[in-house]
Structure formats: C-alpha cells, structure tokens
Amino acid sequence: MNYSRYFSTFAWAVVTVAMTFSHKLAAQITEDTYHRAEYFLTNSIQKEIYHLEVIPNWVDESKAFVHSTFTAEGKQFFKTDTKTLETKLAFDHEALAKLLQDKTGESIDSANLPIERVSVTNGKKVTFLWRNHNWNWNTETNSLESLPVSERNEMESFSPDKKWKAFSRDYNLFVKNLASGEETQLSFDGKKQFEYASYYGWSDFMQGENGERPAHFSVTWSPDSKKIFTQIVDLRLAEKMYLLDFSKDEKFRPDLLSYYRGSPGDSTVVMYIPVIFDLEKKSEKKLPELSSPHFIGINLRWSEDSKKLSGFYFPRGFKEFQLIEINSETSDLRKIYSESSATHINRDNGFRKLKDDQFIVSSDKTGWNQLYLLDWKTGEVLHPITSGEFVVNKLSYLDEEKGILYFEASGRESGENPYFSHLYRVNLDGSDLQLLTPENAMHEIYISPDGKLAVDNYSTVNQPTQSILIDLKTGKRLHKISEADISNLTKRGYQSPVPFTATAKDGKTEIHGVYFLPSTFNSKKKYPVIDYTYSGPHTSTAPKTFKAGLLGHQQATAEIGFVVVTVDGLGGAGRSKAFSDVSYRNLGDGTTDHVLAITQLAAKVKFLDIDRVGIFGHSAGGYDAGRAMLLHPDFYKVGVASAGDHDFRMEKAWWPEMYMGYPVGDYYHEQSNITNAANLKGHLLLAHGGIDENVNPSATFKLAENLIKAGKDFDLFIWPSRNHSFGRPPGDYFTKKRWDYFIEHLMGEKPIRHYQLQVGN
C-alpha cells in the first residue's frame, strides 16, 4: 500500500472538510450579528453621526438661530450669529446641568441635557422647555426660574378682541360675554351624534358599543369677533369598526373598543356640515351643500373684512377641486376656480392669496405640477409663473412687495436624480427664474422669518450632509455651519448605500433605487436580497438624503448579511402626472417594477443571489409585501407583511378612493391579497397589532383564513397590546422576529432564540 499517497489523500480530505466546516461557521448567526444590526437602529445610530443636520430655531429677529446636534461630547446646542457668521456653543452645558441639578435634585447629564425648544436671546437669556415647565436662565446673574406650562383648555376658544369665549355644552355651541358673564346659546338642535363645534379624531376610541366619543372642540372666529365658522359632526349613519384589547394585566376578559371608520364606497360615514353663526343677529346658517366626509373635510378661512369665507372643496372621489368663496351674510356661494381629472386631483395644492385680488395656485393640469397667477374676482388664469417638465414641491416664501416667489422643485436640472429638490426664485410675472442651490443633491431648506436668509441642508445617500447658511435673494453661500462627521461609521466598515437606475415595466421610463450593503460586505460572495417596500402612490420611498439612508430599516437589516434594495417604481409621487397615474386603479402592480429593477441590478453586479429574494413592508408596504408574494410567487421566496391593508375595500376610505377609484369597482377585488391567497408558494409571515385602529387587523385575519382554505402554510404574529406602530426603525420585539424570519427562510441559517435586542433610548 502506498502510505504516502494514502496519508496525502486523507490530509487533503481533512483540510477540505475543515474548510467547509469553517465556512459554515463563518456564516452562522451569532450575537455579534445582532450587535452589528442593533448599531444601526435609529436611537443608536443617530448618536454616532455628529452634526448630521441643522434645523434652526430663529431668534433675535432672524439675527441668529439655535440648533441641537449630537457631537463627540454628546448632545449639544449651538448658536449661529448671522451677522458675524460664527457658530459656537449656545451656552455652558455643564453650568446649566449643575443649575438644573441644584434646583430639582435630579441627576442631570451635561452631555445629554433633557431640554427642548431652546432659544437664546440677547446672548444672555436662555429659555427652554423641560418637564412641562418653561425655564428662563439668565447667564449674567446665573439665575434659573421656571413656570408651569399653562394648560390650554382645548374645549374653549377666545375671540380676537378677547371679549367672548366660545364653548360647547350638551352638543350645542355657546358664547360667553367675558365682561358681563352672560352666556348665549347659539345652536339648539345639537344632540349626541349630531354635535356642533366638534370634529372627529382618527383614534377616537369608545369603550364598548355605546361608550362616549372623546370630546373635541373647534371654531374659527371672524377677525371682527362677530361671527363664528364651525361644523356639525354628523355620526347618525356612521358605522363602526371593532377591536378587542387583551393587554390589561388586571383583566381576564378583553375590552371591546369601537370607533367610527368608513371604508371605500361606504355611504355610512362620519359627515361634516359647515355652519356660520352671527353673534349680533344670533343667527345660524347651515351649508348642507358643502357637507363632506370627515376624511376629506372642508377648511375655510375668513377674509380680513370678516364678510367672506374661502377655501378648497373636494367632492368625494378626489377627481375635482373647487376654490370657493361664501358670503357670510347671504350664504351665497361663488366658485372662483376649479379643476378636474379623469384619475385624481392633487389634494395638497399650493395656494397663496395676494393683496391685490390675485392668488397663486399649483396645478398639474399640463402633466407637471406648476404655479399659476390668477384673478380672484374672475378666476381667470393671468399667466403661468413657472412652466416646464419639472415638479414644484413647495411654495417656500413670498416677497409680495418685490413680487418675488421662492419655491422648491425637483426634476428641472438635467443629469440629476429627478427626485432631488432645489430652491428657486422667480418673479411673479414668470420672469428671471433662478436656481439658488445648484449642488447635485437633495436640498432641505429652512427660511428665516424675515425672508433674508435660509439654512440649506444638502446631501445624497452617499454624500454626508453639509449645512450652509445662504443669502435667500442670491443663493450665495455665507457660512458653512457644519458637515456630518461619519468617522464612527467608517471605522466599522460602513459602506454608503448605492443609488442605481433601471428601466420600468413600460420599457422606457428610468426608475431609481438604492441598495444597502452590510459592513462585512465581500464582493466575492453571493448575498440574499431583501426588497423593502412602501409603494404607496402618495409618496416615494427610496431615500434621497444621507439622513434617510441611515435612519431607516434598510441598513440595520443589511447588517444581518443581506443586500437590501428599495425602489421607486412607476405610480409613485414626485414626478409627472403620467408617472403617478400608472398606479390609478392599479396599486396591486407596484412591485412589478421592483422585480425588474432587482433583476437588472443583478445583471450588473455579481454579488446578488437572484434565487433568494425576500420582501417586507408595513401598512401599505405590508399590502405590497403580501401582494408581491402572490403576484410574483416564483421571484419572491420570503415575505414579511406587517399591519397590511390586504384588501382596500376594508381600508380607511380616503386614499384608496383617491388612488383606486370611487365608487368601488372590480379592480378592488382583483387586486386584493385575500382573493389571491391561493397563489402563495413561498414563506409568508403576517403580523399585526391587536389594537391597530389605523389598519384594522380584520384584513390580516381574512387573508389568514383564505390561506388556510387554500391549504397554504404561513406564519402569523399578533402583538396584542400594539396599535399601528411596531417594527419601526428604533427597533422592538418584532424587529428581531422579522430579521429571524429572513435568517431562517431566506439565508438558511438558524437565528438565536430568545435573544433580546439592545435598543437604545
């Protein structure tokens, strides 16, 4: 026997087995795996990035501003002098901590002062809010005084001249003369479920079937204090939804919670009936023709002369808006301007009334959201203020005396991500359009109250934030306030998210996405892919800023050992009207672009394992995740759908009616996860909060029932005491459960049971 050859072969076999075993060990999930992911949970990571952004609190008539940020020394407050262009500590943090400790006897950490709403005036007076007290610190005398925050009575309202107080009693509206003490009843037909001067809150729980709704009060006084505009909340035909609260430790039976909630197409919804009261005439004028479901509402403002009310009115279905004016004396209604659409109208119209009987309104009637100047008396368009194939996002500031408008817009600058927003100025006659923030990045703008300065935080997902003080008129950079310091991250091997583009399902439109890599990334390995989704048509989800790239779900999930992808496909917000309209009556097809984008990305980079793709999302993203598993069952192998609105017929009415259509059609049924449950092939975890009043758990239960009927294996997690808020970026019990589901079913590894996340405060 050739022993030399035998031992050589044996040794090679041992080495091979050892290498295989060692590779397997390296891939296993350990506590260090969770620690790496925990580091990127929001409450932890935000303290590791220094000078992430500057959100100014303008003081001294815009001569300065204060901002807080995390630094190597802890949370600190800075003051920037806009005259000397200096940024320095706003005050002595240790001195204030000692004063607070001496005053209260509590232990105060100077590196983490528990204060907010900080203002510094005249360089010597520091004011702040803490423990429901307003504090004043005179730094010259080193004296510290506090006053309890006066509790505002939300159930009353004082007239502008301070002579009257409005309040409700027994569901009717009353006023009280503050000089004489005399009370006057203004309405007389109010009763339970037909309630004056109230509104409906989204989370208005009632104990049991007939419990009392939380009390609310809302009126709008005319400037001359002689009239009141308010509404009647009509609950008489409104239907309820129900929840069982099992979370009370001291109870052995659940509490029944009920709340009013209309679903798409329902006629049995809470209604608002506008009404005007005249105090002198003691008259009441209802405006039933303007009655509106509470999820649309109507917000009217008084004219300066108190003779008229004006505002936007949206008929149900959101296919039209009307700018209206009401004569408060005669109740005559005048339609100033209106627009309609075959799909839906933008509900968040930019609007500004000018002094000389003109007004500015935003409209996407050309296919792109632009600004127009119109005549108030005739409603005629005088001329466009802006035009082109870009999107106006915000009317930022109006200098009416000089006839200059400042606005934020995206998509105008060629060669950029079309979602990047910039600040512009333009004359009201449409001339002299100027770009004020030219950097190829996402700009977040904070303009001073006097309209002379602005703080510009600009960044991309892979370029740390720079915070600059600029001259608003010219855009000139006056002072670099700070730049984000990410040295703590880079020491840990952090690699910034990577933007990419793909071609959408129409075969021509460029769509944008971002992918996230673990800090242990090795380009020679293949990584399972997770799609984080929220393709709600009223937003765009892929992060645009450095902050958004860090303070979300994606990086923490990637640290487990995945590549996480987020895509803005056709049908989302922020681009053209045609781009948005792709999702109209078609919300169920949102993840098709995700499949295409991930497939195209995998053809460019070789470290994606296209055979192991998972998806997760929450709320509308929970619907997306469930829908993706049923619409693309051969592509997505694992899904986690939390708080999902799995059938839009069971959702709250407003946004499905806007984007899926009103009245309800067959497309609601066709795009329901419940009716498509039999398509499931992969692993699916459904999760819901037991007392979620935003998205009632009933749709998750119905989906579970249909999966059972179809003989499909799936997993179900109910958090009995939680509402809609769980599994969020700060991290909680469900965060680990979601990670573990992907570890086991997508990665093929074994998670650590009973490990508790170390979540920062």
Instruction: Tell me the two tokens of residue 171.
Output: 């569901």
692 within a domain of the structure (yes/no): yes
Please report which helix (H) or strand (E) contains residue 734, including its range.
helix 733-742
**Cβ neighbour number for residue 56 with a 10 Å cutoff:** 22
Taking each helix axis as running N to C, give the angle between helix 592-604 and helix 620-631, from 0 to 180 degrees, rounded to the nearest 10: 70
SS (H, E, C) 68-95: EEEECCEEEEEEEECCCCEEEECCCHHH
Cα–Cα distance measured from residue 159 to residue 224, given in angstroms and rounded to the nearest whole number? 9
The per-residue pLDDT for range 511-569, each reduced to its tens digit, is 999 999 999 999 999 999 999 999 878 889 999 999 999 999 999 999 999 999 999 99
**Residue whose pair of structure tokens reads 């959408």 in the numeric block:** 504
Angle at 344 (CA atoms; ends 338, 347), nearest 5 degrees: 65
Q: What phi and psi, each to the nearest 5 degrees, are found at residue 184?
A: -125, 130
DSSP-H helix ranges across 575-721: 577-581, 592-604, 620-631, 654-659, 666-670, 698-709
- On whether both 41 and 127 belong to a single domain, the answer is no
**pLDDT score of 151 more than 50:** yes
Confidence grade of residue 153 (pLDDT, cut at 50, 70, 90)? confident
How do residues 480-501 score in pLDDT, each as one tens digit? 999 999 999 999 999 999 999 9
Per the rule left: phi > 0, alpha: psi between -120 and 50, beta: everything else, 458 is beta
Asked if 41 and 144 sit in the same domain, the reply is no
Q: Which two tokens stand for residue 292?
A: 């509106």
- Where does the pLDDT of residue 20 fall: very low under 50, low under 70, confident under 90, or very high at 90 and above? very low
**Residues 75, 42 share a domain:** no
3-state SS track over 567-580: EECCCCCCCCHHHH
User: pLDDT tens digits, residue range 184-240?
Assistant: 999 999 999 999 999 999 889 999 998 999 999 999 999 999 999 999 999 999 999
Per-residue confidence (pLDDT) for residue 547, from 0 to 100: 97
Query: Reduced to 3 states, what is the DSSP secondary structure of residue 236?
Result: coil
Residue with the bigger pLDDT between 679 and 203: it is: 679
Spatial neighbors of 301 by CB under 8 A, at least 6 apart, are 220, 309, 310, 311
Does 40 share its domain with 69?
Answer: no
| pLDDT in the model for residue 328 | 96
User: Do 613 and 686 belong together in one domain?
Assistant: yes
Q: What is the span of the domain harbouring residue 64? A: 57-148
**545 with 630: CB under 8 angstroms?**
no
Q: What pLDDT score does 347 carry?
A: 79
Helix (H) or strand (E) segment spanning residue 14: helix 3-27
Question: 39 and 86 share a domain?
Answer: no
Flag whether 586 is in a domain.
yes
pLDDT tens, position by position, 130-148: 999 999 999 999 999 998 8
How big is the chain, counted in residues? 761
Residue 718 and residue 687 in contact, taking contact as beta carbons nearer than 8 Å = yes
- Regarding whether 512 and 616 lie in a shared domain, the answer is yes
Supply the pLDDT for residue 18. 41
Q: Which residues contact 426 (CB under 8 A, 6 or more apart)?
A: 385, 386, 404, 405, 407, 432, 433, 434
At residue 294, does pLDDT exceed 70? yes
Structure tokens at 732: 């909680």
In the structure encoding, which two tokens stand for residue 57, read together?
């609190």
Residues 36 and 144 in one domain: no
Question: Is a pLDDT exceeding 50 seen at residue 671?
Answer: yes
Same domain, 514 and 587: yes
Question: What pLDDT is recorded for position 27?
Answer: 56
* pLDDT reported for residue 366: 95
pLDDT at 3 over 50: no
Q: How many structural domains does the chain have?
A: 2
Mean pLDDT of the chain: 94
Q: Which of 94, 122, 148 is where one domain is finished? A: 148
Which residue type, as a one-letter code, is found at position 128?
A: F
Question: Rounded distance, CA 49 to CA 73, Å?
Answer: 12
Residue type, 210: N
Q: Helix H segments across 79-226?
A: 93-104
Q: For position 122, what pLDDT does the model report?
A: 83
What DSSP designation does 132 have?
A: T
Is 257:244 a contact under the CB 8 Å cutoff?
A: yes
Q: How many CA atoms lie within 13 A of 8 on its CB side?
A: 5
626 near 734, Cβ under 8 Å? no
Q: Is the pLDDT of residue 11 over 80?
A: no
Mean pLDDT of 3-23: 41
| Residue 15, pLDDT score | 40
Q: pLDDT for 251-293, tens place per residue?
A: 999 999 999 999 999 999 999 999 999 999 999 999 999 999 9
CA distances for 643 relative to 217, 300, 714, angstroms = 31, 34, 16
- Identify whether residues 616 and 689 lie together within a single domain: yes
User: Contact 505/594 with Cβ under 8 angstroms?
Assistant: no
Is residue 212 one of the residues assigned to a domain?
Answer: no
Are 104 and 140 contained in the same domain? yes
Q: What is the pLDDT of residues 369-378, one digit of tens each?
A: 999 999 999 9
What are 348's two structure tokens? 């968040």
Q: Do the beta carbons of residue 323 and residue 360 sit within 8 Å?
A: no
Assess whether 40 and 99 both reside in one domain: no
Please indicate, yes or no, if residue 381 is contained in any of the structural domains: no
Residue 199 within a domain: no
Rounded Cα–Cα distance for residues 20 and 27 (Å): 11
pLDDT over 90 percentage in the chain: 91
And the tokens for 112? 């983490």
pLDDT at 183: 97
Q: 273, 272, 275: which is closest to 166 by C-alpha?
A: 275
pLDDT at residue 14 greater than cutoff 70:
no
Q: So what's the pLDDT on residue 349? A: 81
> pLDDT of 74-121, one tens digit each?
999 999 999 999 999 999 999 999 999 999 999 999 999 999 999 998
**375 inside domain:** no
| Residue 441 located in a structural domain | no
State pTM to two decimals.
Answer: 0.94
Residue 677 has pLDDT above 90, yes or no: yes
